[in-house]
A and B are shown apart, each in its own frame.
Chain A
């Protein structure tokens, strides 16, 4: 039983961590300019939180 629990923690921990990171990365803002350039702001980047909060209010 202990071994099973240890195995679950060993496998489940990293999976959960990676899952959460994937979710966080999914939240981003992309800005496109008229010269064809594009800026991506990942969640946690300066200014991104403000834009994401406004977007969340729209959904």
Chain B
């Protein structure tokens, strides 16, 4: 699945997500729900800064940080990363964290799927008439 479709699915299923940006390890934006490219880049940069600061300050015995949530009165910022790709999302205040993380991870996994698998055409079912003719 391509990144734009994955993000479209995400915003469709998760009403709490206001904006989401997929970015790579360097902070380059892969896809975004925002029309404003500058805003997308700023969100990706902030997410990268969050991951970097959290990695640096809160090392957990060699364990890798996979996701984080920063909850503020105005809303929350979620970041999840998997296999070189990360996603950041902003939400309304007091979101259902578990659900948002689940949706973000689903989005990242959809991106990791090979395109041929996602777009594979379904085999056509033969009609009873066609079977009888054969």
A: residues with CB less than 8 A from B are 23, 26-35, 37, 39, 41, 47, 50-52, 54-59
Contacts and interface: CB of A to CB of B under 8 A. Distances in A.
Given A51-B54, A58-B42, A58-B47, A31 B73 contact: no
Q: Is the interface of A mostly helix, strand, loop or mixed?
A: mixed
Given A33-B65, A35-B63, A54 B72 contact: no
Given A33-B60, A37-B60, A59-B74, A54 B50 contact: yes
Contacts, number: 85
Given A26-B73, A27-B73, A51-B53, A58 B46 contact: yes
Interface of B: 42-43, 46-47, 49-50, 53-54, 57-58, 60, 63-77, 88, 90, 93-94, 97, 101
